[in-house]
Structure 1
Amino acid sequence: MSARSWLALLAAAGMAVATVSSHAADAATVDAAKPADDTPPPVKNLKPLWELGLGASGIRLPDYRGSGVSHNYLLPLPYVIYRGTWLRSDRDGTRAMLFDSPRVKLDVSFGAAAPSRGDNPDREGMPDLPGNVEVGPSLNITLDQEVRKRWTLDLRLPLRSAVTLESSPRYGGATFSPNLNLDLKDPAHGWNIGFLTGPLFANRRYHEQYYQVDAAYARPDRPAYRARGGYAGWQTIASTSKRFGHTWFGAFARLENLNGAVYADSPMVKRNSALTVGFGVSWVLATSETMVESRY
């Protein structure tokens, strides 16, 4: 596996573990000046500006959505938390904040897809699938939340473009995955729990790399097929995470259903549903001496 492919797989595993866990850390640098009057200052939730660590993750991934072949991977998992004003990396992933208000946030979000191995019999004689990275804006709207933010319900609207990770990178299509995201903070002894559900959409360029069969690669059990853009299935994700001192643990399960997808009749689709599971353990090795105030 090439270095670029390994990087894509690592990104896919790391982002999958963090996809639905709790809250974005919206923070500002603390002003330590004493107030002019004698009113006691409010209690502030102070956390380090940044935290760095390293661990390992295990994940079972299908070669692509609908593939009949899955593989197990054990990968290094970096732990990076940055509670900046416009750039943040936390349980919601890494993103650049473009607009932030109490109810509406616009940020730049990222995603990744793992490469396929050459041992998939369904793709025998066909080119290997490179990994890709996805980047684009995401509009996040808070629909409801508990007054102390112990739970939050968001509507998230990420629109991303994919770029392949290979020696000559190319445009890999676009995806749109609107979803409802419910975060539960500390429902039981410090655990954070998240649930996400919603449809998937992608354009023809994105689908053709996985589901199209050109005439040159057609055979009796794999007829030629032309991919289309549109509805790509439904996904539901559950995740949990907890910090134990200097140790972080996270796990997730993702269920995908392809019934009604525009590519469901492709000869490359061998399963109409798939379960992806993964976990990660990281040890926090260094933290910033600068403290910032976090809402959560």
Structure 2
Amino acid sequence: MPDLLRTLLVPALAILASAPLQAADEPLWELGAGVGLLSMPDYRGADQRRLYALPIPYVVYRGERLQVDRDKVRGLLYKGEHSEWDISLGAAVPVKSDDNRARRDMPDLDPTVEIGPRWSYQWRQPWGDVTLRLPLRKVLAVDLPHLRDVGTVFTPTLALDRDNHPWPGWHASVSTGPVFGDKDYFAYYYGVDARYATAERPAWEAKSGYGGWQLTMALTRRFKKLWVGGFVRADQLGGAVFEDSPLVRDRLSWTGGIGISWIFLESSQTVDTAR
């Protein structure tokens, strides 16, 4: 598998590793590595999927102003008692159109990276933490050394996190929310120019608006020097503004993965993660 593809798949598996650790005093930084399996459609709405085996880097930094875990940079902009501003990241894999029936003879989809600000607000309850997240990301198609702006995506989510559930030592999380995108973003994945139209694939022009609903469930646990986790995400595209695109072949799809990482290096300096 190309190194670029591996790099872009990591954020998809990163949701496995979003669980906080239990103790209040933790190492300032930790390093590790592991492996994971990821099954996912070529793109949201595709009726073909791939199975990937890939490395999972485990990187944690718990600084006062900069906090990095396996899926985000946190506290870089602002951190209050209940709310924070951070940098939200995302990525999507490339698609070779000749390997996808719906896109055959169309241009390949380059891998994309997403970056933008995110505001979060958290309600801590005895039975778990509820968090509202509002990320707004610019989407860039990567064709090194070039980057191309392919639109903007907004994915508000409401998440519930619980420790020691359903079993002692495990961390469970459920998050759900809609996807909204602009015309350029949906055109990148679902637009069909007239020159690529066929009898089975008529020309189609994208517009901005609602892009479906997502539901994600994850379960993780830390065993001293070992971390394990798994997740599944369902995508419902009913009612999306691109639902009638000829490139949408499946209106309900899922993505899932499992992973394991070994933490082999950590700092002797500790910090109070409950602060």
Corresponding residue of 1:55: 34
Correspondence 1:253 to 2:232: yes
Q: For this pair of structures, how many residues does the alignment match?
A: 272
Larger radius of gyration: 1
Query: Offset of 1:146 from its aligned partner?
Result: 2.1
* Structure 1: distance between partners of 2:171 and 2:67: 19
Q: Does 1:152 align with 2:129?
A: yes
Structure 2: runs of 5+ lacking an equivalent: none
Specify the code of the residue in structure 1 equivalent to 2:99: D
Query: Residues 5, 91 of structure 1: CA spacing in aligned structure 2 closer, same or farther, 3 A cutoff?
Result: closer
Of 150, 157, 179 in structure 2, the residue corresponding to residue 179 of structure 1 is: 157
| 1:106-121 map, 5 Å | 106-117=85-96, 118-121=98-101
CA contact (8 A) 2:72 2:87 kept: no
Does 2:28 align with 1:4? no
Shift of 1:101: 1.0
Partners of 1:120 and 1:96 in 2: CA distance? 40
For the residues of structure 2 that align with 1:2 and 1:111, how far apart are their CA atoms?
A: 19
Q: What are the Cα deviations for residues 243-296 of structure 1, in whole angstroms up to 9, with x where unaligned?
A: 112110011000110010000000000011101110111000100111111118
State the identity %. 39
Consecutive unaligned residues in structure 1, runs of 5 or more: 26-43
Shift of 1:83: 0.7
Match of 1:132 among 91, 112, 119: 112
SS in 1 for 2:164: strand
Task: Report which stretch shifted further, 150-159 or 195-204.
Answer: 150-159
Q: How does 1:6-25 map onto structure 2 within 5 Å?
A: 6-9=6-9, 11-18=10-17, 21-23=18-20
User: Is residue 13–residue 38 contact of structure 2 (8 Å, CA) maintained in 1?
Assistant: no
Q: Distance in 2 between matches of 1:2 and 1:164?
A: 17
Contact 1:55/1:281 (<8 A) preserved: yes
Which residue number in structure 2 is paired with residue 39 of structure 1? none
Alignment-derived partner of residue 142 in structure 2: 165
TM-score relative to the length of structure 1: 0.87
Cα deviation for residue 97 of structure 1 reads: 2.4
Q: Aligned partners of 1:201 and 1:121: how far apart in 2?
A: 26
Post-superposition CA distance 1:99-129 (Å, at most 9, x none):
1111111111111111113411111101111
The TM-score, its normalising length taken from structure 2, stands at 0.93
Separation (CA, whole Å) in 2 of partners of 1:121 and 1:111? 26
- Supply the RMSD in Å over aligned alpha carbons: 1.9
Shift in alpha-carbon separation, 1:248–1:59, aligned structure 2, 3 A: same
Of residues 68-77 and 182-191 in structure 1, the stretch that sits farther from structure 2 once superposed is 182-191
What is the distance in 2 between the residues matched to 1:151 and 1:82? 24
**1:101 aligned residue:** 80
Answer yes or no: is the 8 Å Cα contact 1:12–1:114 preserved in 2: no
Q: Deviations over 1:24-75 (max 9, x none)?
A: 99xxxxxxxxxxxxxxxxxx82100001000001101111110111100000
Q: 1:24·1:92 contact (CA, 8 Å) conserved in 2? A: no
Task: State the Cα deviation string for residues 121-179 of structure 1 (Å, max 9, x = none).
Answer: 1111011111111111111012x3225xx611011101111111212211121110111
- Residue 96 of structure 1: how far off its partner (Å): 4.9
Corresponding position of 2:55: 76
